[in-house]
Structure 1
Amino acid sequence: MAQTGLKEFDLNVLAPNGLRRGRTTGSCATAAVKAALHLLLHGERFSQVNVTLPNKGYFLIVPVQNLCWFDPKTVRAEVLKDGGDDPDNTHGATIFAEVRRNNEGKIRFFAGDGVGTATQPGLRVAVGEPAINPTPRNMMLQAVAEVNRNKEQGFDLTVGCVNGEIIARKTFNPRLGIVGGISILGTSGIVEPLSLASWIASIEVYVRVALGSNDINSVALLPGKIGRVYAKETLALPEQRAVQIANFLGDALAFMQQALDEQQRDLEVLWLLGHPGKLAKVLDGAWDTHSSKSDMAMSVVARVAAERGFNSSLVLELERANTVEAAMERLKNEPGAQALWTDIEQRIAALVHARVPAVQRVEVRLFNLQGESLGAD
């Protein structure tokens, strides 16, 4: 099992930011393939295997949690996904591979239970192919080459994930046209604990998918789930045109302007849908609305209320509210509350519009936690 000339990549060494690295679904699938091949071809059972990383100077030791004959011709191996300290929907999932010989003389990839299949063009795999990205495929091909002595022998590699179809519902796979489960991903084989960077990078992809072709005239940005029903039922937007942006409003707007500039076109209307606890922070100049990067929005609501002539005692109550939701509840039966929220929506829209001049019109709608509209109808 020694990797001649290669150096072990030690996951016990923390990343520069002090967080623990992990192994990608691609590394896990490759380890499962390699362990299964050792048993299938040589009768060898390993509790861990060495996976050659795309950076050919390194290998990764990956534990194998289960290895068995699935049927008389097929071996199944299972590996636990460990994403380190990076928040990941697949962390703790069981990735498995079922390996058997074929008579085709080539390596064929199949989607097992819990791994998706591509149904739309524009992804890194062709329509109808299992959602196993190019780098993990190459890693598995390398693993086969390391174990198989008969270079003319072909193998069927079926890669799956226990409960992968359920896990995939928490990802963007359904809206990207990947159905049936998760994707097998990874460009380095190592999960770097850079969730902020990966989140932002993914938002750029989803913004570009949402903009689509030149006949798209409206897109919605949603900091969270609130507003999703409005986008679907009131605006009748397809799912891929309602982009979840988390706290990264400023980045999402920059990506949108850049994409529109590249396409040399305008977008008729940009909708911004969500809770004022996030979106009202824009009036304080906060374009990253994470609580670690911005103050809570009660003072913003109070300030606008004061400017609109609400009495000073009510303004003080709004300032001292524990949450924006509490401020919303206090305003619920006040005359002029709807006009206040409409004013906040319009102020947010004006500031957002300044960042995306390629958008003809920006519309903001604010909702409470129950999804009820606060301002404009």
Structure 2
Amino acid sequence: MAAKLREGFTTGSAATGAALAALHLLRTGTAPDAIRVPLPPFGAGQGRLDPCKNADCLPEPRGWLRLNIESCAAGPAPELGAVWSAAEANAASGLADPPPPDIIAIAHASIIKDGGDDPDATSGARITATVVESALPTIPRPANQFEDAAWHTPSHDAVGTSPDTAVAYPDHIIIKGGPGVGRVTLPGLPVPIGQAAVNPVPRQQITFALQAQEQEYAAALRNRTRLTVFVSVPDGARLAHQTFNPRLGIEGGISILGTQGTVRPFSHDAWKATIEQGLAVARATGCQCACLTTGRRSERLLMERYPDLQERCFVQVADFAQFSLQAVGSMPFERIIWGCFFGKLVKLAQGHTYTHAKDSTLDMQALGRLASEAGATCADAITRCVTAAHALELLLADNAGAETIKRVAQQAARTAQLFAGRPVSLHLFHTDGRELLAL
């Protein structure tokens, strides 16, 4: 019996645990060896954090994860402190957000991200959080409070303000980016342009965790201080080149991700999120044509076929045929193009919604019948083939092979149109780089 694959945890959980450890050091004077990290989603509100005065009113997390702390010490993380020092001496630096004014105390902690048995470029990376405590600015009360609806809100009134000022709560917890965390430069992502690539759920996770811990210490409301969390990844700039970040317009580092806090091996959710983000960026940056491919080689060949299209028009969708075609079909692209090799084409023609070999097998009998109907003499031999590659070589040597391949492509185009809700252009490539068919 195969061993059960080991789960890991996300960069969002690592950043949350590091922030909690740094805050623990600030509040208690001791560095923890391990920390309990709350896992999203949080309660019925899916992470919505309402202002409150006691921990009982916070929503319940999905669960808890105990993470080991790799390091924890006073002051900023070394990579962050170096950038801040350089920025102070040589003007602003684009590698990190600047430190807040009126700093009271700083601590940092690191956790080594563990992706479990999921193949993840960020597994083993050091994820660091620097927590900066600073004086919380006050907002002057307007002469006529009804002239300023932004001031007179429950989030301000819930704290119990003085007659003349209102504390800017719940903005006492702010998430920023440091070296190795990418910066968003293109529209279409869930983080605005210019901000650090810390996705919404990890932002919720960090905010929830620190808010709950501050209420345990009864520190935030009593002292009215602001906590700014700077997430950094010392090796993030290098690791980013092993991800899709450069194509998505995320520059300078990796993204801090995770919708569940944990990583399931070979996570379908992660792939689907990548597909959706790639399509969203393509559309938001003006791409009129969406080019879907099943892997790196087919993508490279399709890029050579359409050299005038921007790289952002191309999205690798792996085995998620139905999901990706439905997603792209729901968006206003003028044209949809699908590029693949013969095995994936046959599976699409045979109606497979997901084309991984583990979950979908080629029906060689059906392929043989199609070849026979086209007049291919190799039809009977195809039924005994084990791989699509072998069947393709038989067809390429057969006088009726081209007609058979065309019929397979036509069936695949019908399936693709059914999934997308509109026509899809197809390109079939040989593994040697030749284009065998365009439909």
Say whether the 8 Å CA contact 1:35–1:64 is kept in structure 2.
yes
* Map of 2:292 onto structure 1: 221
The 3 A distance-change label for structure 1 pair 117 and 271 is same
* Map of 1:196 onto structure 2: 268
Normalised by the length of structure 2, the TM-score is: 0.67
Secondary structure of 1:124's counterpart equals: coil
**Matching of residue 365 in structure 1 with residue 424 in structure 2:** no
- d(CA) in 2 for partners of 1:223 and 1:112? 34
Say whether the 8 Å CA contact 2:237–2:252 is kept in structure 1.
yes
What whole-Å deviation, never above 9, does each CA across 1:202-234 have from its counterpart, x for those lacking one? 534444544458x75422221222321233232
Find the partner of 1:90 among 113, 122, 125.
Answer: 122
- d(CA) in 1 for partners of 2:335 and 2:198? 36
* Map of 1:238 onto structure 2: 310
Q: 1:141, CA displacement in angstroms?
A: 3.8
The 3 A distance-change label for structure 1 pair 60 and 358 is same
Normalised by the length of structure 1, the TM-score is: 0.77
* Map of 1:352 onto structure 2: 416
The 3 A distance-change label for structure 1 pair 330 and 358 is closer
Q: Which runs of 5+ in 1 are unaligned?
A: 1-17, 261-266
The 3 A distance-change label for structure 1 pair 140 and 251 is closer
* Map of 1:255 onto structure 2: 327
Letter in 1 for 2:340: G
Say whether the 8 Å CA contact 2:288–2:334 is kept in structure 1.
yes
Find the partner of 1:60 among 50, 60, 65.
Answer: 65
Q: 1:47, CA displacement in angstroms?
A: 0.6
- d(CA) in 2 for partners of 1:347 and 1:141? 50
- d(CA) in 2 for partners of 1:201 and 1:309? 44
**Matching of residue 32 in structure 1 with residue 18 in structure 2:** yes
Say whether the 8 Å CA contact 2:182–2:196 is kept in structure 1.
yes
Q: Which runs of 5+ in 2 are unaligned?
A: 43-58, 82-104, 138-171
Q: 1:29, CA displacement in angstroms?
A: 0.6
Letter in 1 for 2:293: L
User: Which has the higher Rg, Structure 1 or Structure 2?
Assistant: 2
- d(CA) in 2 for partners of 1:229 and 1:125? 29
Q: Could you tell me the percent identity over the aligned residues? A: 34
Secondary structure of 1:375's counterpart equals: strand
- d(CA) in 2 for partners of 1:162 and 1:300? 53
- d(CA) in 1 for partners of 2:234 and 2:432? 33
* Farther off after superposition, 218-227 or 85-94: 85-94
The 3 A distance-change label for structure 1 pair 165 and 327 is farther
- The root-mean-square deviation of aligned C-alpha atoms, in Å, is 3.5
**Matching of residue 158 in structure 1 with residue 230 in structure 2:** yes
- d(CA) in 1 for partners of 2:239 and 2:364? 35
- d(CA) in 2 for partners of 1:355 and 1:60? 39
What whole-Å deviation, never above 9, does each CA across 1:320-376 have from its counterpart, x for those lacking one? 3332223334445555544543443233223423444434xx321111223321234
Letter in 2 for 1:26: G
The 3 A distance-change label for structure 1 pair 356 and 47 is closer
- d(CA) in 1 for partners of 2:433 and 2:373? 27
- d(CA) in 2 for partners of 1:274 and 1:135? 34
Find the partner of 1:276 among 306, 322, 342.
Answer: 342
* Map of 1:23 onto structure 2: 9
Q: 1:319, CA displacement in angstroms?
A: 2.9
Letter in 1 for 2:297: I
* Map of 1:183 onto structure 2: 255
Q: 1:275, CA displacement in angstroms?
A: 0.8
- d(CA) in 2 for partners of 1:357 and 1:184? 34
**Matching of residue 324 in structure 1 with residue 388 in structure 2:** yes
The 3 A distance-change label for structure 1 pair 53 and 296 is closer
